[in-house]
Structure formats: C-alpha cells, structure tokens
Structure 1
C-alpha cells in the first residue's frame, strides 16, 4: 500500500501542469488568458520599444484610415489627429491603464482584506466600527466620489490609484468579514485555539488561506470594473492628462472625429472591451478552478482516472 502511494505521488504532475490542463479544458478561458498575457507584455515592454514612434507626429497621416499600408507599418490601425500611429499609442497606453487598475486593486484588496479579517475575528465593537466605515464609503457613488476628489486634486496616476482604491475597499472588507465569520466556526480553527495558537497565527495561517481564493476571484472581476472606471474618468477629462495616455483618454480624444474618423475611438474602445471580457471569462474559470466541489468540471479524463 505504501509503495502504491509513493508511486502515485511520484507520477502526479506538478501543480502548474494541472492548472494549464484545466485552463486548456476551458477554451474561452484559455483564449482570455492568452489575450491578457499579450496585454501584460505590451504594458511591460511596449513603451520601451514604441514610445518614440507613438509620440512622433506625421501631418501627412492625420486621421489616416486603418489598413492603409502605404504609410509606416505602425499606421495599419490608422493615425490620430496629429498623425501619430494608433497601433503604437494603444500599446504604449496599456502601461498606464494596467498600472492604475493593478495598483488600485492591490491597494483596495490589501486594506479591505486586513480590515475584514479584523472585523470578523475581533471584538464586536471593533467589528461595528469597521463596518460603519464601510457603510460611509458605500453611501457615496464610487464614480461620483472619484469625480469630486479628482476635481479638487491634480489628476495624476497616484491620485487616480488612491481614489479608485478607496471606493473599492468595502467590496473586499465585507466579503472577507463574511467568510471569516463562517470559517472561524470550523473544527480546524477551534482545534488551533485549543492548542494555544496566537490570534495572528490563526488568522493569517489558518483562516486567510481559506478566504484568499474567493478574494482573488473578486479581484479579477474588480480589475475590469476599475479599468472601466479609469477609462470613464479619462473620457470625462479628469483622469490622466496629455502627454500621458490611457485607453480612456484616447477614446475621449477621438470623440470630436466620430463622424469622420471613427477609428480614433473604436480601436482603444475595442481594447477596453476585449480586456474586460477576458477578465470576466478568466474570473468565471477561476471561480470553478478554486472550488474543490466544482473543480472536476475542468479536470481532464486522465486526471479524473488517476
């Protein structure tokens, strides 16, 4: 019996191989992951490779139509009102768009999860104070609060991250608190208490790993929401300001030319839509993959037979 168990462990594939197999099982999630990987690579290396081309003006290519290969190869998606190639600008703009969304999600997730763990495992008074703080934040519409704050402050990348992070804290706070209230009653937590484990060890070693998969799934969906919020603020003119660019700002800059050069807003808008759609598809896959009860739906026949 011991030999068969050792053989099974030896034949078990690495964790990342199992994850790739489950991802390949869901073709929509796999395509979404590939697209998001391309977007991340564009955000990391695009400005280094194409920033000079993205800012170089060519008045001969003003509002150039897409798929006109008589101009530079970077103009295959067309040119903007100053003759700058849309293809290069979309790739360069990916960095600011993804950086703002990533920073806001990480900050809101870290703060909200910490407060939620405290509210779910601490005294009733501390829980009530934290939850009332969340109610105050949620009483203001998130986009309206961002508009008011950014109207008073300079519309910089840092201010955008702070404002968007504050508006999303209650999502993680309420979710983590609800999960902690349920997990703290399980037998393994009570066993850790009986064995004299400290509060920090119980919360961060035993409770947080159980709550974390749910928060990761929410963060994936929230990433799409934050990216749309940033695009909306840039479209309204209170987000990132030129010469910095984001996809939302590019849509706003193309608005006056919708009747004559629709592609100025179409291509960056399409990038926003595809990225948001990919995040939602990947979030649905993660919700199933991280659930032990539903994970069998994504497992290959080879894995199930094992």
Structure 2
C-alpha cells in the first residue's frame, strides 16, 4: 500500500507545473477578450523574436515595379497582401520586422523604469522620513515636465537611437512606479506579518524583499502592462515626429510617418502599421484588466468559477 501511494505522489509531482499552466489558461479562457488579447500578443512577440531572422532581407529589398502596390493583390507573393511601400517593399514583411524594434524599445523602457522606480519606492517607503522626502522631490521634478516634451528635448540634443530612446522613456516613467511602490510599502509595513517579522529580528533586507515586495508585485505588474502600451504609443509618436528610430531601422511609428505623405494616394502605407499599434495597445489594456483580477486573491474567484464552468 505504501509503495502504491509513493508511486502516485511521484507521478503527481511533475504534473504540478502543468496544472498551474492549465489553471492560468483556464482563467484566461473564462475571459474571452483577454484570451484573444493574449493570443494576439503572443503572435506579436513571436514576430518580434523570429521575424527579422527570416524576413530582414525581404523587408529591405526594393522593387520599384511594386511601388505603392495596393493591398489584397497576390500576384507578387503572399507578403504583398497588405500592399507595397513607396520603394516597393512588402508592407507585411516590414511590419513583422518592425515589431522587434517597437517591442524592444517599449520593453526596455518599462523594465528599466519599473526596476529603478520600484527600488527607489521601496527605499522611500521603508526608510526614514528625510530620505523618503528627498526621493519624492526627485519624482516631483521629473513629473513637472510633460513626458513627451521632455523626450523631445532630450532626443533633440542627443542622437536618436534605440539606447537613447529607451533611456529617455524610462526616465519619464520612473515616477509612476516610485509613487505607487512607496504608497504600497507605507500601507503593507503596518500589517501584522511585517510587524511580527520585525519583532523576530528579521533584517531590513529580508523584510523588504521577502515580506513586502511579493505583496506589491502584482500591482506593479499590472501597472507595467498598462505602461507598456503607453510607452509604445510614445515611441510611435516620437518616430512619427522624426526624432525616434531613424532609417534604415524601422518601427511601426516610423512606418506611419513615412506613409503620411501618401495618405490621399496610398492610404495603406500608414493604415496597416497604425492598425498594428492600435490592436497591440488594445490587447495590452484588455490583458491588464484581466491581470488586475487574476492577481488579486479577493477577486480571483470570479475567473476560477468561470474556468470551472468551462471545464
């Protein structure tokens, strides 16, 4: 009997990560819009990772015979289904390749701002009053400048590159995470489990990273999902203004900017990359709404009930 029970446990243990993944998928399926948004974002990520490996040459090769080729005409091949640009390059291939730079800038800026802002927020919320006030005044200084205007000024002075664009956008988003983290820390540090850890003599490092950070991390991840959409729109705006990514590199915002002069004669040059921006932003907002419920233990039951019904 003991051998049988041990065998059952050994067979169940490796399946636990799979059941956790199935639970997340089931919770996603309970919210159909979030499920579709997650699938779309997965496709975008795959395009960003693998697209340039296979389509870089096609996206850069000019063909003046296909100049401003209209969409939905497959005589020139499948990748001309969305039409051709002013130099005869297939728009579908260019949109797939441009996804890498667009996602790279947005992801880099969000990750950098979240790490720096959260670290400063933890320090401001847990340490003494004077240190916290000094850090908050730094956030006020950054927030006193409109984020897009600050990015325009800095990028006008610096050379527009991916690294500078990530740096500028990250700096403008730091106060969001700093203020949120500080407010959360000030509330969580008063809870009983944190006070118990202090009484038991736990170090400040352990209290912050073992007890406080796991509680506020779901909030930060939800904000990061929303912020990803905002940063992507900011990058597209800067590229549209001509101070973002410069050719021969491409982003969706730069493609919209390049198609602006052909709006009356070849609307598809700006429409398709603009549609990619809109759909990605909408998907991020939908996924953020789902994460706000899924990461909240007091509201997660709504999705779990829906997952059980669908199961």
Query: What range describes the TM-score normalised by the shorter chain of this pair?
Result: over 0.9
Structure 2 residue runs of 5 or longer lacking an equivalent are none
Cα pair 2:27 2:306 within 8 Å, conserved: no
TM-score, normalised on structure 1?
Answer: 0.95
Cα pair 2:52 2:97 within 8 Å, conserved: yes
Alignment of structure 1 residues 177-256 onto 2, 5 Å:
177-256=182-261
Deviation string, structure 1 residues 250-270 (Cα, Å, up to 9, x no partner): 000000000000000000000
Match of 1:160 in 2: 165
* 2:171 equivalent to 1:175: no
Alignment of structure 1 residues 137-156 onto 2, 5 Å:
137-156=142-161
SS at match of 1:240: coil
Give the superposition deviation at 1:69: 1.1
Match of 2:50 in 1: 45
SS at match of 1:70: helix
Q: Which residue of 22, 26, 41 maps to 1:21?
A: 26
Alignment of structure 1 residues 247-266 onto 2, 5 Å:
247-266=252-271
1: distance between equivalents of 2:23 and 2:203? 35
Cα pair 1:117 1:177 within 8 Å, conserved: yes
2: distance between equivalents of 1:193 and 1:180? 15
Deviation string, structure 1 residues 249-293 (Cα, Å, up to 9, x no partner): 000000000000000000000000000000000000000001111
Deviation string, structure 1 residues 113-167 (Cα, Å, up to 9, x no partner): 0000000000000000000000000000000000000000000000000000000
* 2:87 equivalent to 1:57: no
SS at match of 2:247: coil
Give the superposition deviation at 1:303: 4.8
Cα pair 1:120 1:127 within 8 Å, conserved: yes
Cα pair 1:115 1:130 within 8 Å, conserved: yes
Match of 1:86 in 2: 91
Alignment of structure 1 residues 123-142 onto 2, 5 Å:
123-142=128-147
Cα pair 1:43 1:91 within 8 Å, conserved: yes
TM-score, normalised on structure 2?
Answer: 0.93
2: distance between equivalents of 1:68 and 1:23? 37
Match of 2:301 in 1: 296
SS at match of 1:300: helix
1: distance between equivalents of 2:25 and 2:207? 32
Give the superposition deviation at 1:108: 0.1
Deviation string, structure 1 residues 7-53 (Cα, Å, up to 9, x no partner): 9x989873222111101100000000000000000000000010000
Structure 1 residue runs of 5 or longer lacking an equivalent are none
Deviation string, structure 1 residues 143-196 (Cα, Å, up to 9, x no partner): 000000000000000000000000000000000000000000000000000000
Runs of 4+ more than 3 Å apart = 9-13, 300-304
How many residues get paired? 299
Q: Tell me how large the CA RMSD over aligned residues is.
A: 1.7
Match of 2:111 in 1: 106
1: distance between equivalents of 2:308 and 2:158? 54
